[in-house]
């Protein structure tokens, strides 16, 4: 399966770097687009295909990782357009539920919501994953395999995922 990253800064970059360095993903099966020329150059210099915009990424990839800042998510999803139809959309965007994402996209992608945490940057992360009911088992397995390279992965019902986030935020205060 081909992975496309819409946004590939800190967290998206950590996921991509971890998956490549552990051999879970091959560079030839990955493409990225990031609005930052510096970030794009970093990936291009590392042998990753850098495409011209979000829409190109969605047309090229089977699984799209949405790794933009929350304030940029609506525009990024608009730019992805109809290319998301029938694809797997993995969102690591904070504050965007599966329902909210499904209302913002064009077409009917199968949606997976992931709550990462910052220790993922050093491959010691924990990921809460909530899947759309239409996601195929093999698709879920591939995504979980990528995340597993960066830490532990727990599947959580969408209705409980915000409680997981709240608990994780509280535990940092202790």
pLDDT score at 168: 54
pLDDT of 114 higher than 70: yes
* pLDDT for the residue numbered 174: 43
More confident site: 156 or 120: 156
Question: What's the pLDDT band for 163 if we cut at 50, 70, 90?
Answer: confident
Does the pLDDT at position 128 exceed 80?
yes
Which pLDDT score is estimated for 170? 45
Give the percent of the chain with pLDDT over 90: 74
d(CA 145, CA 139) in angstroms, rounded, equals: 10
In this prediction the pTM is: 0.92
User: How large a percentage of the chain has pLDDT more than 70?
Assistant: 93
Local structure of 127: helix, strand or coil: strand
pLDDT in tens, 65-88: 999 999 999 999 999 999 999 999
Q: Record the tokens describing residue 81, joined without a space.
A: 């357009």
pLDDT higher than 90, residue 124:
no
Q: What is the residue-averaged pLDDT of the chain? A: 90
pLDDT of residue 70: 96
Contacts of range 36-41, beta carbons closer than 8 Å, 24 or more positions apart: 36/9, 39/8, 39/9, 39/13
CA-nearest of 112, 127, 121, 131 to 168 is 127
- Give the pLDDT mean for 111-128: 86
Q: What's the Cα-to-Cα distance from 76 to each of 50, 73, 105, 124, 149, rounded to whole Å?
A: 16, 5, 10, 28, 26
Residue 112: give its domain's CATH number.
Answer: 3.40.50.720
Q: Does residue 29 carry a pLDDT above 50? A: yes
| Number of domains the chain contains | 1
Average pLDDT over residues 90-109: 93
Identify how many contiguous H helices and E strands the chain contains and give both numbers.
Answer: 7, 8
Per-residue pLDDT at 158: 86
- Contact predicate 120/98, CB 8 Å: no
Q: Domain range spanning residue 163? A: 3-173
pLDDT exceeds cutoff 70 at 42? yes
pLDDT of 138 reads: 93
């Amino acid at each position: 399966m081909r992975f496309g990253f819409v946004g590939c800064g800190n967290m998206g970059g950590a996921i991509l770097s971890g998956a490549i360095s552990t051999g879970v993903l091959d560079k030839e099966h990955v493409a990225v687009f990031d609005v930052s020329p510096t970030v794009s150059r970093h990936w291009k210099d590392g042998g990753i295909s850098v495409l011209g915009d979000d829409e190109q990424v969605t047309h090229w990839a089977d699984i799209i990782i949405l790794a933009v800042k929350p304030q940029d998510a609506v525009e990024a999803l608009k730019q992805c357009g109809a290319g998301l139809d029938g694809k797997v959309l993995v969102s690591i965007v904070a504050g965007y539920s599966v329902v909210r994402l499904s209302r913002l996209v064009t077409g009917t992608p199968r949606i997976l919501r992931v709550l990462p945490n910052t220790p993922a940057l050093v491959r010691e992360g924990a990921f809460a994953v909530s899947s759309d009911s239409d996601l195929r088992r093999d698709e879920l397995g591939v995504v979980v395999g990528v995340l597993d390279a960066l830490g532990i992965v727990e599947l959580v019902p969408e209705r409980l995922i915000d409680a997981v986030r709240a608990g994780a935020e509280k535990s940092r205060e202790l």
